[in-house]
Every structure is written in C-alpha cells, then in structure tokens.
Structure 1
Amino acid sequence: MSEIKPEDKTATDKNEEEQDWEAAKAFFESLKTKAPRPPKPQNAVTIAVSSRTLFNMVAERKIFVDEGVEKYVAFQVEHESDPLKPGPAFPFVKALMNVNTRLRNLYPDSEELFDIVLMTNNHAQVGVRLINSINHYGLTIERFCMTGGKSPIGYLKAYMTNLYLSKSADKVTEAIEEGIAAATMFMSRQESDLSDTQLRVAFDGDAVLFSDESEIIVKKHGLDTFFEHEKKFENKPLAQGPLKCFLEALGKLQRKFYAKNERLNCPIRTFLVTARSAASSGARVLKTLRSWGLEIDEALFLAGAPKGPLLQKIRPHIFFDDQMFHIEGANELGTISAHVPYGIGQKYNKGKLIEEPKKEDCYKK
C-alpha cells in the first residue's frame, strides 16, 4: 500500500497554487485574529474524522434510521444551539491539538502540524450544529466537507488525508481500498483518564502496520510453520500495511521535537502491541521497522495473551487492530479502539474461520 501523494502538476499549476495560498495567508493575517491559521495540506498531517466519531450522535442517528432524513435534519436545526456530546475520536482530536500547540511554540512559522478535517455525509443545514459544537469545546477544526448524503470517500485524496476515522465500516473499507489509512472507531465501555500532555497511539502489527502475509501463514498452516517462516525470512522486511504511512507521519513530527532536544519530553508516543512472540517471531517486525527508518517507542510482544489489560495500563487515545475480538476486549477495559478491516483476519472470528453461507442458502427467504 503506497503513500498518498498529490498528482503531478505543471510548474504553472504549482505557481498558481502557491499564489492562492499566499493570498489566503495574507487574508488570515489581515484579520488580526489570535486563532492559528490552518496549515497547507501538503505540509500537514491531515486527520479526517466523521461527525459520528467526533461527537456522540447515537440519538440523532436513531431519528435518521427510524424517521428519515427530513425529520433528522429538522431535529438538528431545532437543537443547533445544543452542543453535541463528545464521541470516541474527541480525546484523540484534543490530543492532536495539544501537539500542535507544542509544535507552534518550538516552530512558530512551521506548517508541519496536524490538520483536522470534519468529513461527513451530513446535510449542510446540520453544519450549524456541528460548528456550534466545535466552537463550544474550543476545537481547532476549520476544514469541513459535508456531502449531503453522498459518500465523502472521493474527497479524501483531495484533502490529502493521512488518516480517516469513521463509524461506518463500509466507508472505512472503501477508503482502505483507495490506499488511505482508515479505521472504524468504537467508544469504550468505560471511561479512562487519558493524558492531557501526550498523544498516545497504539498499533497492532500484522495487517495494520504490516501486510497480512505472515498472518495468512498462521491461519492456513499453523504456528509452527509460521515460526519457521519468520525465522527463515527474518531479514526480509514485511510489506507495508494500511497504517504504516500514518506511523510514518507521526514519526516525522516526533523528529521535530527530537531536533530541539525534546525526546524525553515528546508529546507523541507510539506503541506496538502485537500477539506475536518476541523470541519466535519478533525480530522480523523490529528489523522491518528499522528498514523503513521508523521508530516505535514501546514494543510489546504478548505471545497470544489478551491485549486489553496491557492497553489499560498504556491508556492510548486510540488503538488500531484488525481483529474485532481484540477491539472488543480493549473496549471492555476502557480503551478507545479502531478496527482496521484489512487482510485475512476479516474471514476469522477468534481464530475460527467464519463459514460462508452455502450457495443454495442464498436463495432461501
């Protein structure tokens, strides 16, 4: 899966684009506002969040499903002065903003920042309540994309998105198929105290940071064959998975703090939380990261043990995994998790192959 890059442009196009941005920059500066201006998308790490991940819209969603879009829009307009409650992505977004504050203090003129985009298929009339809610909580979200019932996935590349978070598994799958890092977010079943000063992001390994090539061997041939395979190919880097580019983007911002001798006080911390065994299959993972020029702050090899209790100690703002039973286990213990629907693991549940219906059953009522 390759990193998303803007399409090639002619020198004239680039000059015109630069002129547009300089004009926009001059306009913002002329307003004499204390609010930070949005960075250029090509310089930023762009995080696109849906309205249902940023805010808790369960009640509103029920109106949409039960009574239709007109009743839903009318309800939102009627309650547009009532702030929506925080959703699963809310703490993550707040943590991104805190990192931006630190970056601006160290690099006042730099545009290498997180840029948060609200990406939603809501009707534009609902936008007033979303804006009011964003302002109520003091969130720095200036870019909106409201598609009025159509899928917003086609706009993700135009916004140069590095990560897309949604409550819709279908949209997330569509985004991943387009080569965009994406995950389906789930609210934890109990509240946890999360860091106010450090963004903590936890990743599974196979089928998240890395491809599912090794996981295919586990599922089809068992652990012994897997261990032999990993030992044999220990020095061959794994192919990249759907979230590799997001880890890369985090690393780019981390290095800006390291350059200012802030490694021990860096407001971004990354974790690898994998079911792999360290001695039997861990070396290939670490060597793969090294070959990519990427660092992970903490690597935890669980050898098949449950991830939930360890994540409870880490307390990440978000945990990415491709297996729903790991997501569920983490959620039960208070970890906000995001499912990455990628790879062979989607055909299994708790290690068992999900049986597909027989062809003749498809025609039964």
Structure 2
Amino acid sequence: MSEIKPNESAPATTEDNGEEKDWAAAKAFFDNLKTHKPRPPKPRYAVTIAVSSRTLFNMVAERKIYEEEGVEKYVAYQLENENEPLKPGAAFPFVKALMNVNSRLRKLYPDSEELFDIVLMTNNHAQVGVRLINSINHYDLTIERFCMTGGQSPIGYLKAYMTNLYLSKDSEKVGEAIEEGIAAATMFMPKTEMQLSDTQLRVAFDGDAVLFSDESEIIVKKHGLDTFFEHEKEV
C-alpha cells in the first residue's frame, strides 16, 4: 500500500534511492507494530472509516515542534515520549462511539460482523508509530489497520481501502476526497470544553436535500417564506 515506486520517466538519483530505502525500512518497522487488543476477522460489509492520526489524536504541540524545529527534533521528541499517551483529538469521541457500537452488537449478536472498520491514516515517520500504537492501546481502541502515505495525497489509499468516510483536519485533503466521490468531513476541536459521550453514537441529518427533497428549500430562496408556506399547504 505504501510502496514508493521510482519515477519511470527519469533515472532515479542517489538521493532518491536513499530516501526510498529509508522509507521502505520505516514502513517495515511500522508494519511490524501490533496493538494488544485482539481483533475479530475483518468484516466483509463494514463501513470503512479512514481517520488521520492528527484528527484522532491532538498533536498540536508535536506539530509545532515539527514546524519550528524540524523533523529530527520532532521524531526525537516523539521517541522520548513514546510511553506518554497522546491526548484525544477531534475525531476521538466519534471513533470511540463507533467501537462501542461494534462491541455492543457483538454481545447482542455474537455471530454478527462488525459494522465499522477504522483505518488510521498517517504520513508520520514510522518511528512515531510506536507512540501512536501505545496511545491506541492506552485508550483500548480496536484499530489494526494503518496506512502510511509518505506525504503523498491520501486519495489513492482511500480508494484502495474502499473508504466510505474520511475524517481529517486538513480541509484541502477533505476537498480532494469529496471531488473523487469519497464522503469526507473536516473536523475541528471545539473552542469550549465539551463533554462528549464515547458510549453513544448520535448522528444528526439535515432534512433539507439530505433526507428529503430540496424542493421546498429552493422555493424559500427564490420566492420567500410566504410562497413556501403556500406550497407546504398544497402538498
């Protein structure tokens, strides 16, 4: 999945070969990481949700180190703190709730498959994966599938995983996914402290143009509320 192929249109330079070998070694290191939580066989018909590591966990402080001090300082910091769990990020309560739904369904219907399958997307250096794995174990999350994008666009990987929903803090990547026909959402940390349930999955749908036809909404925009009310009475 994360294999980097040399550019066939031009000969690869020594520097390119070195970077490819480094990334291959990093990928092998990352792929060998395992979570402690036992996982049932991958369901055939699950809803696949891909979430970026910076959306599942709050890595604002770590990102600041990366931007201000460079990748070496960033990796060193992550290695020094690999046993310190990352704080929950914007998507954490949602992912936790999805896993609770899976768990409850397994108890009620032992022979049923899980409804939701989570894929963790990351372009982090593989050695940072140790802290990610430790954080996943700390919060008892059932995530066994990881995708390293190597800084590339996630679109190809999202398609390969047959992703049904992509969650990220990067609005540009979310836009790219939507343009390719993949449902996606930009997630933000709330500005005020909020207590979100991680045992209940609550989904709100916009009735206009989502559950129902947008005909009434179009009438409001074009002709105003009076015409809208008249239309509603007639139908």
Q: Which of the five TM-score ranges fits, normalised by the shorter chain?
A: 0.7 to 0.9
Where does residue 64 of structure 1 map in the other structure?
A: 66
**Gaps (5+ residues) in structure 2?**
1-35
1:287 maps to which residue? none
Q: Percent identity?
A: 77
Cα separation, partners in 2 of 1:209 and 1:60, compared to 1, 3 Å: farther
CA contact (8 A) 2:48 2:162 kept: yes
8 Å CA contact 1:166–1:172 kept in 2: the answer is yes
Q: TM-score, normalised by structure 1?
A: 0.48
Q: How far is the alpha carbon of 1:49 from its aligned partner?
A: 0.8
Match of 2:153 in 1: 151
CA distance in 1, matches of 2:122, 2:99: 20
Aligned to 2:47: 45
Q: Per-residue deviation at 1:222?
A: 3.5
* Secondary structure in 1 matching 2:38: coil
Superimposed CA distance per residue, residues 163-188 of structure 1 (whole angstroms, 9 cap, x where no aligned partner):
11100000000111111111000111
Residue matched to 2:176: 174
C-alpha distance after superposition, 1:102-130 (max 9, x if no partner): 11112212224211110122222211110
Preserved CA contact (<8 Å) 2:79 2:131: yes
Match of 2:39 in 1: 36
Q: Is the 8 A contact 1:122 1:148 kept in 2?
A: yes
> Would the aligned equivalents of 2:177 and 2:184 in 1 still touch at CA under 8 Å?
yes
Corresponding residue pairs, total? 199
| Mapped contact 1:145–1:152 kept (Cα < 8 A) | no
Out of 188, 191, 203, the position equivalent to 1:189 is: 191
How far off its partner does 1:93 sit?
1.1
Map 1:209-358 → 2, pairs under 5 A: 217=218, 222=221, 224=223, 228=227
In 2 relative to 1, CA 103–88 (structure 1 residues): closer, same or farther, beyond 3 Å? same
Cα deviation code 1:25-64 (max 9, x no counterpart): xxxxxxxx98232423x41111111111111100111122
Letter aligned with residue 163 of structure 1: L
Partner of 2:90: 88
Separation (CA, whole Å) in 1 of partners of 2:51 and 2:147: 10
Distance 1:158 1:37, change over 3 A: same
1:252 corresponding residue in structure 2: none
Q: Secondary structure at the match of 1:132?
A: helix
CA distance in 2: counterparts of 1:99 and 1:231, whole angstroms: 43
Would you say the 8 A contact 1:47–1:117 is kept in 2?
yes
Task: Tell me what 2:135 maps to.
Answer: 133
Distance change in 2, residues 1:227/1:80 (3 Å): farther
- 1:127 maps to amino acid: G
Paired letter, 1:90: F
Encode CA deviations 1:121-155: one digit per residue, 9 max, x unaligned. Answer: 22222111101110111111111111222222211
TM-score norm. by structure 2 comes to 0.73
Residue 48 of structure 1 aligns to a residue whose secondary structure is strand
C-alpha contact (below 8 Å) 2:48/2:116 kept by paired residues: yes
**1:127 and 1:208, CA in 2 relative to 1: closer, same or farther beyond 3 A?**
farther
Displacement of 1:79 in angstroms is 1.8
Structure with more relative contact order (C-alpha pairs < 8 Å, separation 6 or more) = 2
RMSD of aligned alpha carbons: 3.0
Where 2:173 maps in the other structure, the secondary structure is helix
